[in-house]
Structure 1
């Protein structure tokens, strides 16, 4: 994950707030070329062969080498928590599943993977020296995560129960939305989170995706939170670009 946190940043990542994203790729060097050109990212090596991406010298994401070619090529969003193990207990009780039990990542923190009742995968992050994004809500950085669900009422109950304060509390400024899968994707597409990165011009960014060897799945289209384009990189990982 990324650099040491400050107390102000730590305070921003209360439980249930998206605090990090990473991509599992077969070819990390190719990922650096694709996303480096698309978003203006620079890269530095990190824990366990992962590379961190930086925009304006501040951490925005990580690219990780897939350990098994059968694993999906995918972007994952991580939600902050002060206690990953306790949260996994609550996830199971609410009808979700734990894919990967909490495990330390050096001194950086503790990570885990889980699914909601419909099978959408998300990560948990308990901070150590790394609290989360060094930069977000800006071009070339994380701005939004949309959950495409089969049953949005089930999703609201599950995530609202886990992360009520982050989603609905008096100080909530949620970076997560929920929509039916069929809003954008074919009906057979499984429920999933779609990570959105900020851009100045959505149409121009989609043009760059095509130039770099990726492809466009949908858009540009207007939403309540901005103009969105859904794309797939040159290795098969889906993501979105968001112009606000």
Structure 2
């Protein structure tokens, strides 16, 4: 994790699902992850690690009273760094976002909040306390890229530029922009109207062999939606887990 992440930089991801034991076993077999229950004080939130590296978090889809909530879809949520979560949260609502979870303290670790952006994508905020976020060694089983697949590209660029201080940098002729330029880019915004009906954030996880990992996904009850295919950024596969949450597999070029 960078010692000094910029405003709006992805610094955390977490996963929500229903069949917790079977679905987390799926990820353990795909990526070699371990899930560590943080206990009742943290609502049995699990920290995900790979060989001692902190990847993200995972939890069951629950109501605030701890009972299961079948209406919450299985999903990965991306959290963006902010120095002043109250100000950014208020700015987001003023810019048309819908509230999901207002800013709240997570013990001494920091503060979190979740919104739905104006195009319908859920996204979190994280203001660090004792904890700044995940580790990103860019090794197999760890997150390597984060992008918003949006159905309203111009509105998304405007929203994230205004609310999260994205340094919007267009990439070539295709409607894709990054937060920062070149090697300094930390996240992307993609015009996904051709492929998606709803907006969402997705994470790319590095693997040693994208084809083998894709085969393992289907063997364990997930699905391959696109790929494997080569790109300038490596061999890419779009997949879902057994509960339908989507993510990307990325093999280095």
Query: Is 1:22 aligned to 2:14, yes or no?
Result: yes
Within 2, Cα distance between the matches of 1:41 and 1:212? 15
* Distance of 1:145 and 1:170 partners within structure 2: 15
What does residue 172 of structure 2 align with?
none
| CA deviation after TM superposition for structure 1 residue 192, in Å | 0.9
How many angstroms does 1:32 deviate by?
2.4
* Structure 2 gaps, min length 5: 63-68, 169-177
Q: Which secondary structure state, in structure 1, belongs to the residue aligned with residue 184 of structure 2?
A: coil
Shift in Å, 1:26: 0.7
More helix by share: 1
Q: Distance in 2 between matches of 1:44 and 1:236?
A: 23
Instruction: Give yes or no for contact 2:167–2:180 (8 Å, CA) kept in 1.
Output: yes
Q: Does structure 2 retain, via aligned residues, the 8 Å contact 1:215–1:233?
A: yes
Q: Return the alpha-carbon distance in structure 1 between the equivalents of residues 2 and 193 of structure 2.
A: 36
1:210 is matched with 218
Q: CA deviation at 1:31?
A: 2.6
User: Is the counterpart of residue 51 in structure 1 residue 66 in structure 2?
Assistant: no
Deviation for aligned residue 1:35: 0.7
Alignment deviations for residues 136-159 of structure 1 (CA, whole Å, 9 cap, x no partner): 422111111221112222211211
Q: Do residues 32 (structure 1) and 24 (structure 2) align?
A: yes
Q: Which residue of 2 aligns with 1:229?
A: 237
Indicate the residue corresponding to 2:165 in structure 1: 163
**1:138-217 paired onto structure 2 within 5 Å:** 138-161=139-162, 162-165=164-167, 173-183=184-194, 185-186=195-196, 189-217=197-225
Structure 1 residue 106: Cα displacement: 1.7
Contact 1:75 1:238 in 2 (8 A): yes
Residue 98 of structure 2 corresponds to 97
Match for residue 4 of structure 1? none
Q: Which runs of 4+ in 1 moved over 6 A?
A: none
Partner SS, residue 164 of structure 1? coil
The reply on whether 1:242 has 2:250 as its aligned counterpart is yes
Q: Distance in 1 between matches of 2:222 and 2:98?
A: 32
Q: 2: distance between equivalents of 1:10 and 1:177?
A: 21
Question: Is the contact between residue 19 and residue 78 of structure 1 (CA under 8 Å) also seen in structure 2?
Answer: yes
Contact 2:136 2:144 in 1 (8 A): no
| TM-score (ref. length: structure 1) | 0.87
Q: Give the superposed CA RMSD.
A: 2.1
Q: Which digits, 9 at most, give the CA deviation of each residue in 1:22-63, with x for residues without a partner? A: 110112222321111100112211232111111120110111
Q: Cα distance, 1:9 vs. partner?
A: 3.9
Cα displacement string for residues 148-184 of structure 1 (whole angstroms, at most 9, x for unaligned residues):
112222211211222235955589722322222245x
What is the TM-score of this pair, normalised by structure 2? 0.84
Counterpart for residue 3 of structure 1 = none
Partner-residue secondary structure (3-state), 1:100? strand
The residue aligned with 2:72 is 71
Structure 1: gaps of 5 or more residues: 1-7
Query: 1:203, 1:219 → 2: CA distance?
Result: 9
Alignment check: 8 A CA contact 2:7 2:166 kept: no
